[in-house]
Each structure stands twice: as structure tokens, then as C-alpha cells.
Structure 1
């Protein structure tokens, strides 16, 4: 009887699971497997020599380090934006809510050109910053700015629906029980938002690590200074050094997977704690 109920509750499970595995294999697993298999054309010494070269290490450090910093900034700024859009009503709120999605729809090349012209030494923002001795365009700071620009929607759109679903009566109850506004935020609201915050952080980080179009215009692309790992991969491909390019790509893939896996584990742990509480 229970087996029949389960079959009625989940109709077509075998078919949908088969289609899911087939689709994921064609779109995700097979290309990734091909990427890994391509590196077997290199010996272990060759592979190690490529990924530990000064240029490769600097490119990976630039991509992952700045992506991590950009994700942290996006998380903080995104939480402020989400709070303002969700908890307050003000003129133009819908317009500001729509503006958040612009980095989603804007072509990355257009974003790169716009940021470069804005932060160039004669740009609207670049000129006053240059007078202060701060150069943004064609430096690692420019890469950081581009990563922040393209990553902010991931945090906002991930956290916003969760905050909207939190009943305001919970905040009122906490206030009636004597909690201050900051205590309500730290002990009531943030624990409920923490899994969504981690998800937004992971998405912003992953997008920033793999970003190419908007970054190369403002980066300057100087080896060992402002060269990102995706650009180095493209350079190796243009030199027909396919195995070298795949070696760098595999390192990026493994590093990104480990970071996202760790974040997902923390997310599951936080969700279990929320359920238990």
C-alpha cells in the first residue's frame, strides 16, 4: 500500500531521473570529463611546472583573491540593499529594485567598456581619484570593481525572497520580549538569512572567478600584475597550447569546487541548526 502511494505521489520518477542524468551528463559531466582527460597529455612534471609557474600562480591569486574580496563586499552591500528594498517603502523603490538586475542583462563587454571609461584617469570617477593618487583602471583595483559590479545581483536576488518571507510579527515579538533592534537582527533575522547569505556569497564568488568580458577591458592585463586566470587560458589557447590551457582550467575547476563545497557544507550545517532551534 505504501509503495503504491509513493508511486502515485511521485509519478514518472524513473523517466524524469533518467532525463535529468542524461541532460546533466551531456551539458556538464562530459565536457568536464573531457577537460580533465585533456590534461593527461601532460606528464606529472609538466603539469606541475605549468600550474606552479610564476605567471600562472599570480593569475590564479589575482582571480581567486579579488573574487573572494569582491564576494565579501557584495555580501555586505547586498544585505544593505535587500534590507532597504524589503523593509522600507520609498519613492522609486521599484526602479531601484529593477536597477539591481542590470548586471544580469548587460553584456559583459558593454559593462567593461562602461567601467573603463568611468574609472579612466580622465573619467568622471577616475579623474578625482587620480588627484588623490588612486588609479583604478588598468590595475587590480579595476578588476575588483568589475567583479563587484557583476556580482551584486546574485546576493540581492538570493537573500531578498527569504527576507520577504520572514514574518514581521517575529520582530515585533522579539521587541516585546525586550530585545533591542540590533539584538533582533543578530539573533532572530540573521540566523534565518544565513543559508541564503552563504548561497549568494558562493554565487557571487563563482561568477567573479570565471568573469572575463567585463574584466579584461579594465584590468590592463599585465602579466604577474593584473592578468586574470581566464585570460591566461585564452592566451594559451591562442598559442595552440591546449594542454597548458586545460591544466590551468582544471586547477580553477578544482579550487572553485572545493570553495563551493565548503560553503554548501556550512550552509547545510546552519540550516540544521535553524531547524533544531
Structure 2
């Protein structure tokens, strides 16, 4: 994704350092068409939401999670609004013990700090890593290998009309449009919208919409936003309504989840 890498060829180095890390920010939407790299990749955001498309699935990933892609795996990427993030690119020769399939993982503080340190290294394929840098690279790979996968992605529909609606909901999860209004906006019938959303995502339209709101809630909580602010900004009528939905999804209240994030 060009947000992270200026010279896109860097991520296709077959040789060079075992890990290349780049971090960056952009205040405009960035999007890349389906492509692949010779290296394995770990994508994550520090601010904003990141969409990663793989095969017939798309994940919307909040800032507390990252997506791992094995080498040569075709994917697309898109940021939603202002975005700040990083990408770690792992040489294929050291990917054998890393996950063989795309997955989302919860980012630990150890992984985040190791990646941020590696992002300061010069990008030089002919300069071997120092012993200290090799230890940090080893920490990053250990974290990718050991952190448990979490099913927190948001599946996106494949139909172009439904994709347009889903993308608009991701960009503005607090929208007050109901199903009929979204169907009219997307130029399809309400029954078609309802039926195809289930077929293509595994969720009803209302359940998918709720999940999109929760994905944004995770990002806001990770940024330290008060629970009441998160609830109102995401369109919930009261903080208690948001707390009830969040607790049902994550088995804890938003405040407890936020405390765990900040203390992790």
C-alpha cells in the first residue's frame, strides 16, 4: 500500500533484511488494486480504519488489530478518511513458521513498540541488520507467530451495489438511514438488499451495521475516547444502549475493554 511504502519495489525484495517496516500517514483516502508481494505482510493502523481484501473476503480492521498476509497472497487495501499506519514486510525465507493463511491478530504493546523501532531503520537491501536489530526483528516474528488470531474482521459483500452501501456505512457508521432508505440510495429493492446481504456476508443488514459500529467503537476506545462520546458519535440513543450491545458482543463493558487496552 503506497501509504506505507514510497518505493513499491522494496516489498518484493527476495533478499535483503528479514523484515522491512515502514510507517506513514495520509489525510486523504488511499486505495490499491489487487496485487501481491514476494514478502509476507502485516498491516495495521494507528489512527483510522483500514480495509484489506483477500480472495472473496474483506476485513475492516480497527487500530487494535492487524492483518497478516502470507507471501504472494493477492490482496487489495483501502484507508477510510484520515489514516496513520504501518506495514511490516517479512522475507519469504523466514515465513515458514508464521501463519500460512491470512488472519487478523490483536496487536500487543510489545509488537507495536518493536515495529515502531524497526520503522526507523534505513531501507538498504545490502546492509545486514546489526545484532540489536536482529533481536528486534526476532521479537516481531515471535509476536506474529504467537499472538492468537481474532475473528474481528468485517466481511464485505461482493455485489458492487452492496459494496457501495457497505463502504458508505463504514465511512459513516452513525448514519440514520434505515434499510429502505439505503436500498433506494443504492438503486436496488429492499428485499434484494436484505437477502443478498445475508448471502454475501453471513449477517443480516442490521447485524452487519451493528458490527460496523462496533469496529469503529474499538478504534475510538483505543484512542481514549469516553464511552458516552463513543455512544453518541456512533448513533446510539443512549450510552446504556451502546454498553448493552458492546457487552453482548465482547463479554465485557466498553470501559473494562478500554482499561485492558490502555493497560496492555
Whether the TM-score (by the shorter chain) exceeds 0.5 is no
Report which structure shows greater RCO (CA 8 Å, sep ≥6).
Answer: 1
More strand as a share of residues = 2
More helix as a share of residues = 1
Instruction: Kindly name which structure, 1 or 2, has the bigger radius of gyration based on alpha carbons.
Output: 1
State the TM-score, normalizing by the size of structure 2.
0.27
